[in-house]
Amino acid sequence: MTSNSDPATSVGDDPRRYAFTVWNYRQGEIVAAMIYLGNELGFYKAMAGAGPLGAAELAARTGQHERWVLEWLRLQAAAKLLDYCGDERFQLPDAAINLLVDGEHKTFAAGEFAGPGMADSLQRLFENFRTGLGNSYEDGGPEGAHRGECRHWQAARNDLIPRMIPSLDGVEEKLKAGAVVADVGCGDGAAVLAMAETYPNSRFVGIDASRHAVALVERKAAEMGLGNVELRHADGADLPGEATYDFLITLDCIHDMTRPEAVIAAIKRSLNDDGTWFIKDIRSKPRFEDNLRKPMLAMMYGFSLMSCMSSAMSEPGGAGLGTLGFNPEVAERMIRAAGFTQFRMHDFKDPGNLYYEVRH
Ligand SMILES: C[S@@+](CC[C@H](N)C(=O)[O-])C[C@H]1O[C@@H](n2cnc3c(N)ncnc32)[C@H](O)[C@@H]1O
């Protein structure tokens, strides 16, 4: 007997339905692996705009073996990722283009399917659960620093610069005139490089605790010929002890930090009197039960176990906030505790994230 009948909190007591839920995840695991394969083998790209295709045609276009291609096509149609047009012919629907074909599109998803990388993450979890210690982003190796890169560039060029920065009090004017800016937890550097490109009069510092991320961004800054960006391999808690920055950003990273309070205190010290700190963090509510209607909630806890909370637990005594941990209540409490008095939430109609503008 279940304790309540609310479908958001109760699994119900129909054993067939429960079995379907369980096996549906097993099916999802396999379909995910086949999406990874289809992306790597260029199947989706080869089908884009091609109309209905049979296995022989797709095999010829991609240089793969026809019988194996046919089974993959059937699986994709069974998974409702391809239209079945009859006579063993299959078509990629228009809705798939942004998600599975166009690697430059901000909603491109096919590149996010981890494939063999998943086995490594899973293996590490055994040790994590036993010791309580997680893995930092640096432990994810050079490959890890690239994850989500296209999406981050799209967000920087389409959202951060044209939409978000202009809505912050006085920031765009300062960046145009010449400001000193830090991106703490800069990751693959999309934001710091896009800003450096857009505001040549300003000086930018990208700071990250992962040496792989720093090396990646240094390489890209050189390729882009940017002379106004400097990279530092450092912990955010080691920001300069005196007022230095006119504008400082932390995007999607406070919840990953082992010592968020120490980093926030360092941000407070290093921000000029008239400076602005801009935060992007995962949209979540303080109480677990209030998040239960989020359609991708289980996936978010998976990201947390394999990435965010793992990073935030990667030192003894790590705060371990995790993917959904820097919710508005925690954010405001930590930010005010550091001595900041101005805390404003922005609604940029981003279903995945919340944004805050913080000043002394
Ligand atoms: C999810 S990534 C976000 C990267 C980037 N800001 C973005 O939005 O794409 C989190 C980054 O924070 C970095 N990080 C975690 N803890 C840090 C700390 N204490 N100081 C500096 N960087 C940190 C990680 O190395 C990682 O590159």
- Domain carrying residue 60: 15-103
Domain assignment present for 271: yes
C-beta 281 within 6 A of ligand 1? no
CA atoms in the 13 A half-sphere facing the CB of 331: 30
Residues 256 and 224 in one domain: yes
Q: What b/e readout covers 269-282, taking b as 16+ CB neighbours within 10 angstroms? A: ebbbeebbbbbbbb
Torsion of CA 50, 53, 56, 61, to 10 degrees: 20
Distance of CA 88 from the midpoint of ligand 1 (Å): 47
Distance of CA 185 from the midpoint of ligand 1 (Å): 3
Q: Which of 73, 103, 133 is the last residue of a domain?
A: 103
Of the candidates 239, 261, 121, the residue with the CA atom closest to the CA atom of residue 184: 239
How many CB atoms are closer than 10 A to CB 299? 11
Residues 254 and 341 in one domain: yes
C-beta 251 within 6 A of ligand 1? yes
Residues 144 and 245 in one domain: yes
**In angstroms, what CA-CA distances link 163 with 195, 197, 240, 346?**
13, 16, 29, 11
Query: Residue 61 belongs to a domain with what CATH number?
Result: 1.10.10.10
Quote the number of domains for the chain: 2
Q: Which of 137, 195, 204, 264 to mutate to test the pocket of ligand 1 (most atoms within 8 A of CB)?
A: 137
C-beta 319 within 6 A of ligand 1? no
Residues 183 and 241 in one domain: yes
Domain assignment present for 58: yes
Residues 20 and 148 in one domain: no
Residues 93 and 139 in one domain: no
State pTM to two decimals: 0.92
pLDDT in tens, the chain (360 residues): 555 777 778 888 899 999 999 999 999 999 999 999 999 999 999 999 999 999 999 999 999 999 999 999 999 999 999 999 999 999 999 999 999 999 888 889 999 887 777 888 899 999 999 999 999 999 988 887 888 787 899 899 999 999 999 999 999 999 999 999 999 999 999 999 999 999 999 999 999 999 999 999 999 999 999 999 999 999 999 999 999 999 999 999 999 999 999 999 999 999 999 999 999 999 999 999 999 999 999 999 999 999 999 999 999 999 999 999 999 999 999 999 999 999 999 989 999 999 999 999
Q: Which of 154, 253, 278 to mutate to test the pocket of ligand 1 (most atoms within 8 A of CB)?
A: 253
Q: Whose CA is nearest to atom 14 of ligand 1?
A: 185
